[in-house]
Amino acid sequence: MSFSLLDIWTHMGFTARAVNLVMLIMSIYSLSIMIERFMTYRKAKKQSRAYAPKVAKLLKDGKIQEAIKISSGKEVKNSHLAKVLLAGLNEYEYQKESGGVSRDEMMEAAHRAIERATALNLTDLRRGLSGLATVGATAVFVGLFGTVAGIINAFRGMALTGSGGIGAVSAGIAEALVATAFGLFVAIPAVWAFNYLSTRVEGFTVEMDNSASELIDYMAKKTAA
């Protein structure tokens, strides 16, 4: 028997083929998450870098309406900073226009709006990461299951034919070990990508927290003036 991948696939049993197909689906799924998240984070970083100095200048000049307008523009729709600051600015303006609320109530309402926006934004930024972690944690075990099933079939075939020796089971064991190799091939990149993307999310969280704190400080100075 040849040990090319095509020949190994041809001689695989039903269980081994099913396991490898499952891992192929897991591989495609994890790869799609990696690409989509990488592109999303790249856009968020690029747009936020361009947005931050613009909105900071507008707020410094006291142009809150202009800051709200730029924060809701299409050019910053993927910016994590714009989403958080927009929520705080909108709530601040609403409370100020409503009247009849104290300075502390106004600040508390804006702070709650920022917290809600941050939580929603983090949920969106983490979308897909749990699936990536699941693939990284389970792909090896799925492959191991395929290997065990393949070895069992190899020894059962040896028992049915009555032949013995390593030569009688070497082909079957080779087929079985393909599943473990495939499992490692799927799991390792998924774990690496999960750790990398999680670090990116942590960085975005710090940026949102810092921007929110700066906005709250700005509002406190405006209301105190």
Which residues are within 8 A (CB) of 119 and not within 5 positions of it... i.e. 6 or more apart?
A: none
Rounded Cα gap, residues 80 and 53, in angstroms: 14
175-201 tens-digit pLDDT: 778 888 889 999 999 999 999 999 999
Distance CA 38, CA 158 (A): 49
CA torsion through residues 79, 84, 87, 92, sign: negative
Residue 67: both structure tokens together? 């800051």
Host H or E run for residue 224: helix 166-224
Residues with Cβ < 8 Å from 148, sequence gap 6 or more? 176
CA angle 74, 29, 152 (to 5 degrees): 175
Mind listing the pLDDT tens digit for each residue in 14-25? 777 888 889 999
pTM of the model: 0.83
Using 50, 70 and 90 to split pLDDT, how confident is the model at 150? Answer: confident
What pLDDT is recorded for position 93? 86
Token pair of 156, please? Answer: 């059962």
Res 220: pLDDT = 81
Q: What is the dihedral of CA 129, 132, 138, 139, to 10 degrees?
A: -170
CB neighbour list of residue 220: distance below 8 Å, 6 or more residues apart: 107
State percent of the chain over pLDDT 70: 85
Q: For residues 191 and 223, give the distance between their C-alpha atoms in angstroms, rounded to a whole number.
A: 48
What is the average per-residue pLDDT within 84-103?
Answer: 84
Domains identified in the chain, total number: 1
Least confident piece of the model among 42-51, 167-176, 215-224: 167-176
**What is the spatial distance between Cα 115 and Cα 83, in angstroms, rounded to a whole number?**
11
The pLDDT of residue 189 = 95
Q: What is the span of the domain harbouring residue 202?
A: 5-224
